[in-house]
Structure 1
Amino acid sequence: MSFIRGYDQETLRELVDLDECAARLAEIESQRSLPALLERVWLLKVLDRLDEALVLADETVRQARMAGTRKDVLRARVLHATILQYRGAHAAADQELTTCAAEAEGQGWASIAAFAHQHHGKNAYEAGDFDTARDSFKRSLFLRREAGAEDHELEVALLAIEAAERRRPSQLVAG
């Protein structure tokens, strides 16, 4: 079940029904499985409860390292980095997302690499680095195609590429 209803054209952040997200968070609040922890972190993020999200994201990365697979650890680290991004710690998020994308690509995990590149692009976009954002979104699109992603996932990457290109300084677009 996806809570994402679309993406803001200016910020590229997820558009969600806040009441639905709050209800879901209450429903899974006591669950301790790794998937539930990841979902709780994401819900806290979109509900703008960033302090709680960061604490839980740290715990989720630790749990993934202790009991999960390498893929689980990467997913948890990407989500952790998105919390850093939302808190305005763009340099720290950039470093984490760059590392995660490189590790996923090195392992041949195209879908996880695409996920990391997409978030790397969103972080760069928010930081005002539209060239890096566009490059990351393009890499995500390539990897999503390689992984056989569904059309709506490809569309999200295409819309992000277009948004980054619109925000680039005009002299770079003309050159």
Structure 2
Amino acid sequence: MRLVLLGAPGSGKGTQAAQIVSRLKIAHLSTGEMLRAAVASKSPIGHVVESIMERGELVSDEIVVGIVAERLHGEDVKTGYVLDGFPRTVSQAVALDKVLADRGENLDAAVELKVVANDLIDRIMARASQAKAKGGKERADDNPETFALRLQAYEAQTAPLVDYYRSKSVLRSIDGMQAADAVAAAIRNAIGA
């Protein structure tokens, strides 16, 4: 099964992707993790990505599409995958459709986690507090100012994907404000898995 998870920052995409991956035994392709790995590598592209992320901006389509297209060649994606955080723009979705068509594949579903934007800041601050409590490092983008910029970017650039995938009849909308287990159950029902 090939899935895309859509939702605003803090909507629970990572949490739900982990549950889907565990249940279906498919790969979790998180562009956020791929981008953070690029930053950690200290490569030239990693430095560019780091600067962009610290400003709360979105990484360019060209960079992200290239990273994802390369990742789709991995052995672990042959049985399926969940794309978490990609595509972020309609042009990325079109590029993904082309990459998939070249592989003789298509998406099974695009799952939208619908959330209330004003409640997301609480989730982000809780995530940062939990990371600190566990002795981990807070993500650079988990602060109110950067989060507000990420949310604005989502509304302007990513929200139009809902209409794009609805027009392709693959959109499944889920109430993402429910408890995590209820969201997971709704996703199972929506994708039939």
Higher relative contact order (CA closer than 8 Å, sequence separation 6+):
2
Greater fraction of residues in helix: 1
TM over 0.5: no
With the length of structure 2 as denominator, give the TM-score of the two structures.
Answer: 0.30
Higher strand share: 2
Q: Which TM-score applies when normalising by structure 1?
A: 0.32
